[in-house]
């Protein structure tokens, strides 16, 4: 079936304009052989497998262990500091570096894992140090929830570690970096300077 287009001229005559239309040839259907389809399916499957292997490697490499609660100093001290951290060699060395300084001998320290933050009352502490890692492009959930609910720049210091070294929760006081053991001393020094200032030692 063909369709013709006419225009009516002055006087009633009709002119056939069908020959003026642009004729577009029918495009041939894209034909993919069974062999090519098989290659495409294998390619897509391989990419998905590699992606999930990467996620598994990332989780194993950067996931944190759980820290056992421990204390240092006299609970009767007027100065109490809570250290919230996660299980990794880097964080262990940072916490150790802060607690071993003689300038803090009269201070009561309590170290807990980030998963225990739900039991913390900020009013019970003169200072709170939060050390956490970004995993799968997000901050540790308990730490993020605690900061969102209670953050006080006058008594809280946040140290965030990540693979990139520059991830941080917006608007918080603290430092960011990768878990580089060669930088433990530098990071410890910055935390101690902040702590001395906050506790007015």
- Claim to verify: residue 100 and residue 158 sit in the same structural domain: yes
CATH of the domain at 104: 3.40.50.360
Q: What is the pLDDT of residues 75-127, one digit of tens each?
A: 999 999 999 999 899 999 999 999 999 899 999 999 999 999 999 999 999 99
Whether 19 maps to a domain, the answer reads no
- Claim to verify: residue 99 and residue 54 sit in the same structural domain: no
Q: What is the pTM of this model?
A: 0.69
- Claim to verify: residue 130 and residue 169 sit in the same structural domain: yes
Please give the full DSSP string across 62-116, using - where no structure is assigned. H--BPPPPEEES-TT-S-EEEEEE-B-HHHHHHHHHHHT-GGGTTSEEEEEEGGG
Question: Average pLDDT over the chain, rounded to whole?
Answer: 82
Residue 38 lies in domain: 33-62
Structural domains in the chain (count): 2
Low pLDDT (below 70) residues in the chain: 1-31, 52-64
């Amino acid at each position: 079936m063909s369709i013709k287009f006419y225009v009516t001229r002055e006087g009633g005559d009709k002119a056939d304009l069908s020959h003026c239309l642009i004729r577009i040839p029918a495009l041939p259907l894209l034909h993919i052989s069974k062999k090519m389809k098989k290659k495409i399916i294998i390619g897509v499957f391989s990419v998905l497998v590699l992606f999930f292997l990467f996620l598994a490697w990332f989780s194993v490499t950067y996931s944190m262990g759980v820290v056992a609660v421990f204390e240092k100093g006299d609970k009767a001290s007027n100065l109490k500091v809570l250290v919230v951290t996660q299980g990794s060699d880097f964080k262990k060395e940072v916490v150790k570096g802060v607690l071993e300084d003689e300038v803090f001998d009269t201070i009561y320290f309590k170290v807990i894992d980030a998963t225990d933050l739900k039991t913390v009352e900020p009013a019970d502490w003169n200072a709170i140090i939060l050390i956490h890692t970004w995993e799968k492009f997000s901050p540790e959930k308990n730490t993020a929830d605690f900061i969102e609910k209670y953050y006080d720049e006058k008594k809280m210091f946040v140290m965030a570690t990540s693979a990139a070294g520059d991830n941080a929760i917006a608007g918080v006081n603290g430092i960011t970096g990768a878990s580089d053991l060669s930088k433990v001393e530098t990071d410890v020094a910055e935390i101690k300077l902040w702590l001395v200032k906050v506790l007015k030692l």
